[in-house]
Structure 1
């Protein structure tokens, strides 16, 4: 199950919780009772191998690689 990060809009309390993707988002801060918002972070994606660059699918790239 995924871990979600929440932050309170009023007291800035941040915490992580494990929830199913089918569960409703939390709405109330456990510290002050204020409104929560879900925090989204950056996702690191690394593409490795051939086929990810524009010149990998061109005929000229194949000719120069075999030469």
Structure 2
């Protein structure tokens, strides 16, 4: 579910709210009670819920290889051997 940022025009209070995309925007400020909340434009954050999400699912490049056993060691050993043969 997306995490939206809001700011109150009356008192300046800022908050984040986890809402469905189909939910109506919040209007009432929890700090002052005025109906002056506006949704801020920002990079959308989201939360992954449920089982099956692992640390390595969303890594790319070098970061993904850090968790694979033995792969990093094999590559570092292969490079010096190839340099010695030249």
Q: What interval of TM-score do these two structures reach, taking the shorter chain for normalisation? A: 0.5 to 0.7
- Look up the match of 2:38: 37
Q: 1:42 Cα deviation (Å)?
A: 5.3
Ranges in structure 2 where 5+ consecutive residues have no aligned partner: 45-86
The runs of 4+ residues in structure 1 deviating greater than 4 Å are none
TM-score by length of 1: 0.60
Ranges in structure 1 where 5+ consecutive residues have no aligned partner: 44-67
RMSD between superposed Cα atoms in Å: 1.4
Q: Which has the higher helix share?
A: 2
Question: What is the CA deviation profile of residues 17-65 of structure 1, one whole-angstrom value per residue up to 9, with x for unaligned ones?
Answer: 100001110001001012100000257xxxxxxxxxxxxxxxxxxxxxx
How many equivalent residue pairs?
43
Larger radius of gyration: 2
TM-score by length of 2: 0.47
